[in-house]
Structure 1
Amino acid sequence: MLTRIEVAADQVRDRCLLTTGLLSPRRLPAPDGVVRVALIAASALLLAGDRVEIQVDIKGPVRVEIIETAGTVAYAMRGGSASWDVSISLTDGAQLTWHGEPFVVAEGAEVTRSTEVVLEANCWAVIRESLVFGRHGEVGGTMRSSQRAWLDGELLLAEDLDLSPETRPGWAILGTARCLDSITTLGRRLPDTSSTGFLQLEGVGSVARRLVGQQHESDLGQTWAVSTAADKISGWS
């Protein structure tokens, strides 16, 4: 079922149209020039057969902040599967921050997850994604993840990950880690640092990533604070 967040900048009051699917978007109080939207599960998620589809369309010089109020657990699916697909369009100076809460892939879950972002040259997005494999004492199920981003018509980011129990222990994927925490910036770069786990894309964008045993061990909280205060940071380009 489709969840849709549509925001258009307006000199009097930014217009916001919200459509409920398996997730219910709710507008929250925010300063002028900012539209803050919470995503709340409208039913038990994520179960076999669930098809979560989220569309975000932002037009004009307005900043949209999407907040997930709780993490998501993909439960054992007994041979079934589920999907979580996000598509984002930013035009005419739009800005987006989306802080995803932990997405837990429990034992026996089978999930495909995709994100597509299309930005014009004067737009930017910052997205945090935290994937956790297994609840306490579990190995965790299967996830296949796909990310694509285009900036001003040019492909900026393309990544496909097979995060099944058989492949993710590989040294080039998760190794011994159980959690994959990422912050992706598109349309702007994170300040260059000597820290490991930062990748500057060929185009204008960056990926900060941590592989940790427990989600609370990730140190990307400070990176998130820096990346979402972009208008105050001269180190951004």
Structure 2
Amino acid sequence: MRAAAALATERVAPPGGAARNRVSTLRSQAPLMLRLTHPKGPEPWTAHDPSAARVCLTAGAAGPIGGDQLTLTVDVGAGSTLVLREVSASLLLPGPHGEQSALSTSVRVGAGATLVWLPEPVIAARGCDHRTDVSVELGPGARLVLREELLLGRHAEQPGAVTQQLHVRVEGRPLLNQHLAVGPGATGWDSAAVTGGRRALGSLVVVDPGWADRPPQPVLLGDTAAVLPLAGPAALVSAVAADALALRGCLDAGLALLTTPAEDRRPPDAS
């Protein structure tokens, strides 16, 4: 299957009216179906912008399945705010001919814009072979929250092969280049240096220009998760856990810490 979806937002100020966010592009092809939605759970950084645009990505078909080639383009216009979520977890499945599936996502966040991207977990079913490439370009003063969660197989199932690549650039400068390969064919993926035998792993990238003069400090979030400052107005939460619930708890703790005003931050108990 070949499919592409595109999403764009803009900030508009009608004559005599208050400025608001508007979804200017919403184009879908199954299985990448984009739908306007309402708030779904807590949202960082939206209290200051009640008109934030909210879109959910929902599956219009099973998969990705081996051989599928999917493309998603997101453009958050200057000054606008977008909350992008998913309806449910994604299940990566093998195809009938042993081909690799792929999802390529290109994101541009304009000057002064905000993107809160909180997808649901990706589950690597046995026999799958999948590649995910995410490229994010942030303009001056842009803010970003980006969560990634990967579950290694369904219950009591060995995972398939998954490769994830994440590139984040701020005003044209590299901020983060992260590569992960797990499953058959990936050397040492279940060693102590990668997953340590745990079945859930994830990360959370937060970019906030407000940290230029007061960056976040490194913090342990228990035994298998930590907040790691990046060389820029940004931080990375990295975590592994026994299951999806524990993983989400680690990432939520990091998100709460990083999106709370600096003067109110209290490091969590790492005992």
Specify the code of the residue in structure 2 equivalent to 1:15: R
Counterpart-to-counterpart distance in 2, 1:162 and 1:29: 35
Which residue pairs with 1:184 in the alignment?
Answer: 205
Match of 2:153 in 1: 134
DSSP 3-state at the match of 1:32: coil
Match of residue 212 from structure 1: 241
Matched, 1:203 2:210: no
> Is the 1:151–1:187 contact (alpha carbons within 8 Å) kept by the matching residues of 2?
no
Alignment correspondent of 2:32: 23
Secondary structure of the residue aligned to 2:216 is coil
Q: 1:226 Cα deviation (Å)?
A: 4.4
Letter in structure 2 aligned against 1:93: G
Cα 1:179–1:5 shift into 2, 3 Å: same
Q: Who is 1:48 aligned against?
A: 66
Aligned residue in 1 for 2:44: none
For 2:9 and 2:90, locate their aligned partners in 1 and report how far apart those are by CA, in whole Å: 25
Whether the 8 Å CA contact 1:181–1:215 is kept in 2: the answer is no
Residue 104 of structure 1 corresponds to 123
1:71 aligned to 2:96?
Answer: no
Task: Provide, for residues 15-67 of structure 1, a one-character-per-residue CA deviation record: whole Å limited to 9, x for no partner.
Answer: 31201023111112466330010111121222122122111101122210001
Q: Kindly, what percent of the aligned residue pairs are identical? A: 23
Aligned-pair distance for 1:235?
Answer: 5.2
2:268 is matched with which residue? none
User: Residue 144 of structure 1 aligns with which residue?
Assistant: 163
Q: Does 1:169 align with 2:187?
A: no
1:88 CA drift (Å): 0.6
Give RMSD over aligned pairs: 2.0
Label 1:35 to 1:10 Cα distance change in 2 as closer, same or farther (>3 A): same
Q: What is the TM-score normalised by the length of structure 1?
A: 0.90
After TM superposition, the score normalised by the length of structure 2 is 0.80
Check conservation: 2:219, 2:226, Cα contact below 8 A.
no
Distance 1:19 1:76 in 2: 27
Q: Decide which of 78, 103, 107 is 1:60's aligned counterpart.
A: 78
Report the Cα offset of residue 95 of structure 1.
Answer: 0.2
State the one-letter code of the partner of 1:7: T
The gaps in structure 2 that reach 5 residues or longer are: 15-19, 40-48, 265-271
2:193 alignment partner AA: A
Is the strand fraction higher in 1 or 2? 1
Stretch of structure 1 that moved more, 98-107 or 156-165: 156-165
1:33 aligns with 2:51: yes
Distance in 2 between residues matched to 1:201 and 1:141, nearest whole Å: 31
Secondary structure of the corresponding residue to residue 5 of structure 1? strand
> What secondary structure sits across from 2:245 in the alignment?
helix
Cα distance in 2, alignment partners of residues 39 and 72 from structure 1: 10
